[in-house]
Structure 1
């Protein structure tokens, strides 16, 4: 088989690119996705209707063998990190639509300054003025019609406005106002500190993923578009320094598919791994893995960024809880300035969730999560051998930059003061330093066991006394009591280091920049520097992390790279 274009990865960017490149019937396009497809007429109800993490960590949705190291590691080698630290599983989607299919349906743009920063870092043509038309092209805003809001795009945006928030979230909004953080209905209008309702890729309580929006029925009927789900790319095929095809495994067989140009959209973890297995990356690392060097690009796999996150768990009084009719518990998002002298304005984020999960227990619990929107700690992705079945070594190195830890500590005190003062305190039964353990996350799944266990726990919470203490004792890490964390600087640091996790926003590992920049991996057209016929278009090419979750920005990258390909740039 031969196509004009092969797209490796059917995530948020890949679906966009497949749609845009196949508009021209003269071009043949092949979209390859390792996970299952989600055709419009047969989208599983768990994806279509569930608000958050449908089919959590099932092989049909996630790369279940992927792990990541989160602690700061200094100058340790990967071997030393593995010997002294314990990895955590790290959620990355393995399904058509990628993260837009399984994550929290959050659709927020970064700030204009984020994209101007990209241009300043060498990504010419990626400033705010160039990116805004691509954002507007994606969006079908169901709530607002302004020059900043897209109205005719393929992805709907809607918001749960304060009329439907829990009393707890409304009180938090009031408290934010007392700290000179104003409320906005529409985050697209934000220029400074503000709180606002989450924008969501959702139409009338149904998820609209990149797959649903860009691979709709009419797009799938194009004869020049081939969609290959459950097909894993094993390697890239080269003729000299030109990429000419891919080797894939599907239906138990290995075959080659050839193309005039290949676009890798496999995400910030797997895109650099695919390049490195093809001999594109740090030369010595490749040789150490018995891989011949095709292009010595030291930036491949470096500059790994994420939004580190921690928060407080909250047991709500009955009068503070969220009404059952509100499907999505993510209510208020806040972006504001830490005031740290070495950080830019609007560098922090905070999320108020009205419920932990849609279960009897989860309805009684809320969360307030927070962290730096502009994090400075950087990690890396490296190979653990040439075998494509072996997941790469991933080390995020959270909190390695003191600016990140400093801002976590100051924000923990800021949030705790809000939770203990009026108007928020009247809705809070208790709160505690959160450790978002996998065991607790698993309780959100809709199983008979969880329903029974959650029902018992909810009854005990309502009863108070010993029963309540027993339930909360199971949720609270006894190493980090609230009073101790707030009084003892070292104990607070211990909690943050033990509890910090990523927000599943990896990016930056194939950084975009000027072709003469030795740390850049792709040029501003997405072309891999040092070879021909190969581009990267996903979150991995972001030079720095935007002040928002990455779903909408990744789709914007798909739109912009599609334009550049069609312009023969």
Structure 2
């Protein structure tokens, strides 16, 4: 293996895959992409319904949170992808971007160049949208974005139920407005998952200037005289980055690697026996995540996809998909949802809904014996902030992930309001032909204390961690608006850890946008150093 590259990218997830593809478009740029997990060979990584298996362990690091002290010390399974393509390989393929006002807030916080009008062209650049080609959406990009291929009649009944509460239908929740319910667009093409690996890396694999390494563990970032010069690979030694080293390991993986390298809060590093290379308290701080509460109802008949979890039905579903590209395997199972308000005075929707076409789809969610339907709700703008820290200096040890859920009581209040909204939707007349009875939380949950107990027992993460290498113009920010690490030269962070505030939606499309924009910034920086 050659030990010299212009750009070394650590982390082959959504952002890293996009960045490797874009930087290697320049034939003179030698690019190395390093991913700890395997290549995305497994068939479940290709089909839409494979998501149902992902939160239960496939393609995951297997990490959990520390006990959440504001939620009765509950420990949450915290799925983080360990496979090429990262979250885009294992997620429910929901294509949302957050609200335009999220990015306006980024700009107001000092992140020049990150307002909505600044980032919208990069969302559009990635897209190959099968439904829209307008100011908000593009065609011809690498990423397939499609309408759902396998909706069920209960989805239309859900829209009608929401309308009874004044919630409008919205056919493009990633367009001019976010408010309303509708079918999500999905990162799919031809009823197959369009992950960052499939969409961006597969077409780039034959480029002689791009090297993709899977199953390669990075032990530390190498810093010499205040400059990042490469990384140390387990069993292989140092690989040098002659232009830039770029960390794209996500909001958990990136701060973890930095701290293992002695870059982070000095007191913490000393406490776990890691020699301090650079004291930066912001590394691993400001962790933000969406916490999900849900309603599970029993259905009056086979109105969802639950029966296909049984072995014989599962085989039939697989055959149907192979022959017709339809049926339950063609469904992401969470392709219906919407955005609405817990706080009626909020500046934009603060609750996101996902209608799950079954029960027990995700890890930690109860399955009903005779079939059911799930309606998830998540409060989108949490005030609570957590941390990612090291348990020890051993690279094999799992990190200490502390989202610090509900440290701010406001988050708890808004989340429970969102759960009550989901209950109200499920109780409306248009859903009565499909819904027999609510089973969770159930009629016995009435008081605020009972709702709190229910949430502590059943809540789950929406898998949207962000903020742990915060971007900003202030001295406390980890990276500047060009995503350059403050205090160490030739080191950049390109993933969801740079978000100053978590966006009000699923985060995968934003990770890709960040990488698209970063590629342009890196190219511009390279031209300044060596005129193009």
TM-score (norm 2): 0.89
Distance 1:223 1:165 in 2: 42
1:33 to 17, 28, 35: 35
Query: Could you list the per-position Cα deviations for residues 80-133 of structure 1 after superposition, in whole angstroms to 9, with x for gaps in the alignment?
Result: xxxx94533311000000011111111111111111111112211111111001
2:250 to 267, 273, 278: 267
Distance 2:302 2:79 in 1: 34
Residue 245 of structure 1 is matched in structure 2 by: 230
1:168 to 146, 154, 159: 154
How far the C-alpha of 1:552 sits from its partner, in A, is: 0.5
How far the C-alpha of 1:347 sits from its partner, in A, is: 0.9
Distance 1:363 1:484 in 2: 21
2:356 to 350, 353, 358: 353
Distance 1:352 1:344 in 2: 24
Instruction: Report the aligned-residue RMSD.
Output: 2.3
Residue 443 of structure 2 is matched in structure 1 by: 483
Query: Could you list the per-position Cα deviations for residues 195-243 of structure 1 after superposition, in whole angstroms to 9, with x for gaps in the alignment?
Result: 12111111122111100111124x1111111111100000111212111
How far the C-alpha of 1:55 sits from its partner, in A, is: 5.3
Equivalent pairs, count: 498
Residue 239 of structure 2 is matched in structure 1 by: 257
Query: Could you list the per-position Cα deviations for residues 268-293 of structure 1 after superposition, in whole angstroms to 9, with x for gaps in the alignment?
Result: 11100111122221121122223333
Distance 1:405 1:60 in 2: 31
Residue 324 of structure 2 is matched in structure 1 by: none
For residue 511 of structure 1, give the secondary structure of its aligned residue in structure 2. coil
* Unaligned runs of at least 5 residues, structure 1: 75-83, 435-481
Distance 2:430 2:55 in 1: 38
Distance 2:509 2:207 in 1: 25
For residue 67 of structure 1, give the secondary structure of its aligned residue in structure 2. coil
Distance 1:297 1:536 in 2: 14
How far the C-alpha of 1:354 sits from its partner, in A, is: 2.1
Q: 1:52 to 1:319 in 2, by over 3 A?
A: closer
**Is the 2:173–2:338 contact (alpha carbons within 8 Å) kept by the matching residues of 1?**
no
Q: 1:248 to 1:58 in 2, by over 3 A?
A: farther
1:158 to 132, 140, 146: 146
Counting only pairs closer than 5 Å after superposition, residues 125-524 of structure 1 correspond to structure 2 as 125-160=113-148, 165-217=151-203, 219-249=204-234, 253-260=235-242, 261-318=244-301, 320-321=303-304, 325-326=327-328, 327-328=330-331, 329-339=333-343, 343-356=346-359, 364-433=371-440, 482-486=442-446, 488-514=447-473, 517-524=474-481
Q: 1:67 to 1:339 in 2, by over 3 A?
A: closer
Corresponding position: 1:547 with 2:504 = yes
**Is the 1:334–1:351 contact (alpha carbons within 8 Å) kept by the matching residues of 2?**
yes
For residue 485 of structure 1, give the secondary structure of its aligned residue in structure 2. coil
Distance 1:222 1:393 in 2: 39
**Is the 2:343–2:414 contact (alpha carbons within 8 Å) kept by the matching residues of 1?**
no
Residue 454 of structure 1 is matched in structure 2 by: none
Distance 1:319 1:271 in 2: 44
**Is the 1:298–1:518 contact (alpha carbons within 8 Å) kept by the matching residues of 2?**
no
Q: 1:363 to 1:377 in 2, by over 3 A?
A: farther
Q: 1:568 to 1:553 in 2, by over 3 A?
A: same
How far the C-alpha of 1:20 sits from its partner, in A, is: 0.9
Query: Could you list the per-position Cα deviations for residues 376-433 of structure 1 after superposition, in whole angstroms to 9, with x for gaps in the alignment?
Result: 2211111112221112111111122122111222233333233223122232112222
Distance 2:166 2:56 in 1: 43
Greater CA drift, 133-142 or 393-402: 393-402
Distance 1:132 1:264 in 2: 23
Distance 1:54 1:321 in 2: 14
For residue 236 of structure 1, give the secondary structure of its aligned residue in structure 2. strand
Q: 1:519 to 1:73 in 2, by over 3 A?
A: farther
Distance 1:36 1:312 in 2: 35
For residue 189 of structure 1, give the secondary structure of its aligned residue in structure 2. coil
**Is the 1:279–1:292 contact (alpha carbons within 8 Å) kept by the matching residues of 2?**
yes
**Is the 1:70–1:396 contact (alpha carbons within 8 Å) kept by the matching residues of 2?**
no
Q: 1:174 to 1:57 in 2, by over 3 A?
A: closer
For residue 349 of structure 1, give the secondary structure of its aligned residue in structure 2. strand
How far the C-alpha of 1:364 sits from its partner, in A, is: 2.2
Query: Could you list the per-position Cα deviations for residues 321-354 of structure 1 after superposition, in whole angstroms to 9, with x for gaps in the alignment?
Result: 469725212232111122255x432111111122
For residue 155 of structure 2, give the secondary structure of its aligned residue in structure 1. helix
How far the C-alpha of 1:506 sits from its partner, in A, is: 0.7
**Is the 1:169–1:353 contact (alpha carbons within 8 Å) kept by the matching residues of 2?**
no
**Is the 1:399–1:497 contact (alpha carbons within 8 Å) kept by the matching residues of 2?**
no
Corresponding position: 1:98 with 2:81 = no
Greater CA drift, 289-298 or 399-408: 289-298
Greater CA drift, 378-387 or 555-564: 378-387
TM-score (norm 1): 0.83
After TM superposition, which residue ranges in structure 1, 4 or more long, deviate above 4 angstroms?
Answer: 57-60, 357-363
Distance 2:135 2:294 in 1: 35
**Is the 1:140–1:157 contact (alpha carbons within 8 Å) kept by the matching residues of 2?**
yes
For residue 221 of structure 2, give the secondary structure of its aligned residue in structure 1. strand
**Is the 2:96–2:173 contact (alpha carbons within 8 Å) kept by the matching residues of 1?**
yes
Q: 1:254 to 1:87 in 2, by over 3 A?
A: farther
**Is the 2:293–2:377 contact (alpha carbons within 8 Å) kept by the matching residues of 1?**
yes
Query: Could you list the per-position Cα deviations for residues 354-392 of structure 1 after superposition, in whole angstroms to 9, with x for gaps in the alignment?
Result: 223789978822100002111222111111122211121
For residue 7 of structure 1, give the secondary structure of its aligned residue in structure 2. strand
